[in-house]
Chain A
C-alpha cells in the first residue's frame, strides 16, 4: 500500500480526475478524525468502506435467489 503524508488543504491525485483533499484533521490517537473532500468524474462511485461492504454482502445474499419460494412470497403479500 502506498502511504503518503499530507497537511490540511493538501491533496493527492488518483488516475484521471480523482482528487482527494484533506480538509480537516482533528483529535489524536484513537480519536483522530480526518475530513476528506473528494472530486471524482461522473460515474465514479464514492462510498464509505463499511457502506460498500454491507451492500456487497446484501447483494451476495440476494443473488442466491434461484431457490426462493416465490409462491410463498405471493401468499405473504396477499395476506398484508
Chain B
C-alpha cells in the first residue's frame, strides 16, 4: 500500500504494519489509521498517520530501555483490542524528541497497547507511579537508584 508522508514522501507500507486506532490517540481522536514503520535495526520506529501526512510520532518498545516495564491492562482494554488475553498485547512508548535529542523522553504513563495479530491499537493510561509521563531515556545512569523509596 502506497502512503503519502511529509517526511518520506511516498513510501510503500506492508498492510500488516497498518494499525487501526478506533479512538485515535489522546488529543488526536480524528486520526484513526497509522503505519508502523521500522528503520533497519533501530529501536526507534515511526508511527505515521495515514490520514494526515504531517503527523508522525517516534515510538519505541519500552522494554528496550526499561527492563521489566509492564502494564496491567483491564479487561475492557483487552476486549476492546480484540485480544483473548493480556499476553496478546505489546506496548509502544511515544517519544518526545526536543531540539537537544539527549533530552528525549518516553511517555511511560500513556503507552500504546497493540494487538499486532488484529492490527488494532489504543493509547492507554496507567496509574503506576513508576511509569512517568516523561522518562528521560538518555539521562539514566547505571549507578543511579532505580527509584526513590
**Chain A interface residues (CB < 8 Å from chain B):** 42-43, 45, 47, 51-52, 54-63, 65-66, 68-70, 72-74, 76-77, 80
Asked if A66 meets B7 with Cβ closer than 8 Å, knowing A43-B76, A59-B27, the reply is yes
A42-B80 in contact (CB<8A): yes
Min Cβ gap B7→A in Å is: 5
Alpha-carbon distance A66/B119, docked complex (angstroms): 23
Whether B104 and A73, one on each chain, are in contact in the complex, defined by CB atoms closer than 8 angstroms, is yes
Residues of B within 8 A of A (CB): 6-7, 23, 25-28, 39, 42-44, 46, 54-58, 76, 79-80, 94-97, 101-102, 104, 107, 109-110, 123, 125, 133-134, 138
Chain B contacts for A63, CB-based, 8 A: 28, 55-57
Interchain residue pairs with CB less than 8 A apart (27):
A42-B79, A43-B23, A45-B23, A45-B26, A45-B125, A54-B133, A55-B109, A55-B125, A58-B94, A59-B26, A59-B94, A62-B57, A62-B95, A65-B57, A65-B58, A65-B95, A65-B97, A66-B55, A68-B97, A69-B97, A72-B101, A73-B42, A73-B101, A73-B104, A76-B101, A77-B44, A80-B138
Inter-subunit contact B125/A62 (CB<8 Å): no
Determine the residue in chain A with the shortest Cβ distance to B125.
Answer: A47
A42 interface neighbour in B23, B76, B101, Cβ under 8 Å: B76
Kindly report which residue of chain A lies nearest to residue B43, judged by CB atoms. Answer: A77
Task: Point out the residues of chain B lying under 8 angstroms from A59, CB to CB.
Answer: 25-28, 57, 94, 107, 110, 123
The answer to whether B26 touches A52, judged by C-beta atoms less than 8 angstroms apart, is yes
Known: A69-B97, A73-B44, A76-B102. 20 other contacts (CB 8 A): A45-B23, A51-B125, A55-B109, A55-B123, A56-B27, A58-B94, A59-B57, A62-B58, A62-B94, A63-B28, A63-B55, A66-B7, A68-B58, A68-B97, A68-B101, A70-B39, A70-B44, A76-B101, A76-B138, A77-B44
Inter-chain CA distance A57–B79, complex, in Å, is: 28
Query: Considering the chains assembled together, what is the distance between the CA atoms of A42 and B81 in angstroms?
Result: 12
> Inside 8 A of A72's CB, which chain B residues have their CB?
101
